[in-house]
Structure 1
Amino acid sequence: MHNPNRPLISSVATGISGLVLALIGAPWWLTAIAFACFALGLLVTVIQSVFPQDSEHRLAWWRARWHHQQRRRTPLPVRHPVRDARQASGPRADAPDRHGE
């Protein structure tokens, strides 16, 4: 079984080990900046691999996301459990007729 992320994983491991070796004895703030830049680059790579890059696929993805957001903003009708149970069971025998009979 071939793992398509193997090149990414091995390059990340190589990059981290090289960064650690280069920053031995460096001030803490330089180490923090270096790792922040490395994390930012990794984040960009992950985002590019998750989101579609072809323009027609990207457009379809954004349209689907927009439709999902619109459906989430539309409130669902409030349901009343007692009234719904009465309507499901039909008219009651002891209930007066609505037409006055």
Structure 2
Amino acid sequence: MIRKAFVMTVYPDKHEEYEKRHNDIWPEMVEELRKHGASNYSIFLDKHTSQLFGYIEVADEETWRKMDSTEINQKWWAFMEPVMETHSDNSPVSRGLKEVFHMD
């Protein structure tokens, strides 16, 4: 498995809505994530900074990269656009983080 971590930003007044939307994540979105090799996926919120910290494990980079272009992912990005910082294509503004330590 490949461990990936990233940060994003939710709007300060949308913390609860962001969490609600993820609590009610569409089953077809979860299915597509798994189909593209995702597992052990978590997102954490720092309420003081409105920063989101995401962690996911993927089976391989090539399969994972294909997730962005799926119809359900595009629909999810459009659904999430009102509550977080996004690019013009509705993809989340996200910065990958470099792993500097890991312990099993």
TM norm structure 2:
0.23
Q: Which has the higher helix share?
A: 1
Q: Which has the higher strand share?
A: 2
Greater RCO, CA 8 A, separation 6+: 2
